[in-house]
Amino acid sequence: MIKSIILAAGKGTRMKSDTPKVLHQIYSRTLLEYVIDAVNETGLADENYIIVGHQAERVEEFVKNKYSNAKTVLQSPQLGTGHAVSMVCPYLNDFDGEIIILCGDTPLITSDTLKTFVEAHRKMGSDITVMSAIFDNPTNYGRIIRNSDGSLNSIVEEKDATPVQKAVQEINAGIYCLNWQKIKNAFSQLKTNNAQGEYYLTDIVEWGNNNNLKVNAHILERNEEIYGINSKSNLAQATKMLTQRTLDKYMTNGISIVDPNSTWIDPLTEIGKDTIIYPSTYIEGVNKIGNNCKIGPFAHLRGDVVIEDNVKIGNYVEVKKSHIKSNTNACHLTYIGDSEIGSDVNIGAGTITANYDPLSKVKSKTIIEDNVKIGSNSVLVAPVTIEEGANVGALSVITKNISKWSLAITRAPLKVLDGWVSKRLKK
């Protein structure tokens, strides 16, 4: 098994935020999670070292709570990317395998690309493989400098580059695969004689050449995968790119997305075929939607939602942490939270599951069994169960369990005063 090192100590000044850069979120996951998850999904790595520095405690706590196979290593002060990697050396002295190095702020990287990259490293018999990419505008990236025979010579940072080097369009993507035992000594020999006075990780390429190692670059196919987050604007752009990728995958799998430009779906959501997602729908978190459903327009699913086949979730319906069985409809203006809803249920417009007691801060469950019909504008005060086939009259507030096939209604009786209006008008 290989190990990964993920660089996440940098300051992220341009985010202008009190939250560390790598803890910013796209949908339900932080930037750092996207990277760790991509590494874990390759199935190749058994351990991840996360280099933390700026607001280290918050990142450490996050990693500790979320991953059993990730360790944080403190880098303080932050003296450059080469220095960051050197922090892991004491832990890996005896590790005789491959290391992949990535950055914690590139959430669009995929496990497929990482797998292909490691395979390429192995096929080429490389000791050091750098992921490169061809950019129309290479500004700010390290440039890949090749010898006349095409072999990799070195990486030169923008700030150290000559005009000729700056014209090179092949850039360093910032992802590396290393045969650790052969490279580990480089980290005690890096120098800071460069424009930024930092220990550059990129200098291992020249070090490798000087030490007769096999050094190669592998060109990335889809440039968007190394899109890095430095600002809130980048964060929005990455969210859009990730969403586009997710929606394309759904459409390939037979799901209709009426308007991809106004539809936002977390890639952790699974959707069955022939389901139609109408415009302005926002779906966040881990959800499972069945076949032949109609979701939206203007629907909001907030995570931990399971929807079975032939379900309609219509406009201004919000659903969170709930299971909805087949052939059930909630078509208008409804909140469903912490609920279990059976099949063939109709939830009338304006129904609310009152799941939260703000005094005790306790959330409770609403259970609605098969064939129940809930009249419009009803409030179901949880914990509550509406048993099979029961009907709830419109405008009811249900505060206790309702037995099978009965009618529950709390509405004030209707009064009609004959001729009342005309009498008033005559006065």
Q: Which residues are catalytic?
A: 332
- The per-type count for the chain, helices as H runs and strands as E runs, is 9, 35
State the first-to-last Cα distance of the chain, in angstroms, to the nearest integer: 92
Alpha helix segments (H runs only) across 153-273: 163-166, 180-183, 204-210, 232-252
Binding residues for ligand UD1 (CB under 6 A) = 7-10, 51, 53, 75, 78-81, 83-84, 103-105, 141-142, 155, 157, 171-172, 174, 200-202, 228
In terms of CB distance, is 203 or 369 closer to ligand UD1?
A: 203
What does DSSP assign to residue 367? E
Residue 7 CA to residue 48 CA, distance in Å, equals: 11
Rounded to a whole number of angstroms, the minimum distance from the CB of residue 2 to ligand UD1 is 20
Tell me whether residue 127 or residue 198 sits nearer to ligand UD1 (CB atom). 198
Least Å distance, CB 157 to ligand UD1, is 5
* DSSP state for residue 300 in the 8-state scheme: E
Q: Least Å distance between CB 62 and ligand UD1?
A: 15
- How far is CA 106 from each of CA 7, 32, 103, 229, rounded to the nearest angstrom? 10, 8, 6, 6
- Whichever of 83 and 320 has its CB closer to ligand UD1, that residue is 83
Minimum Å gap between C-beta 249 and ligand UD1 is 26
Q: Which tokens is 53 given? A: 């520095």
Q: Which is nearer to ligand UD1, 142 or 314 (CB)?
A: 142
User: Can you tell me the distance from the alpha carbon of 265 to that of 281, in angstroms, rounded to the nearest whole number?
Assistant: 8
Residue 211 CB, nearest distance to ligand UD1 (Å)? 19
- Residue closest to 63 by CA, chosen among 82, 83, 49, 53: 49
For 64, the enclosing helix (H) or strand (E) is helix 56-66
Nearer to ligand UD1, 80 or 342 (CB): 80
Give me the least distance between CB of 155 and ligand UD1, in Å please.
5
Strands 346-347 and 373-374: parallel
Q: How far apart are CA 130 and CA 50, in angstroms?
A: 19
Residue 104 or 337 with smaller CB distance to ligand UD1: 104
Measured from the CB atom, the residue of 198 and 284 that comes closer to ligand UD1 is: 198
Residues 6+ apart with CB under 8 A from 392: 372, 373, 374, 375, 378, 380, 386, 398, 402, 407, 408, 409
Q: How far is the CB of 343 from ligand UD1 (least distance, A)?
A: 49
Name the residue number minimizing CB distance to ligand UD1: 142
Q: Give the separation between CA 10 and CA 31, rounded to whole angstroms.
A: 14
CA distance 312 to 326: 9
The radius of gyration of the chain's CA atoms, rounded to the nearest angstrom, is: 28
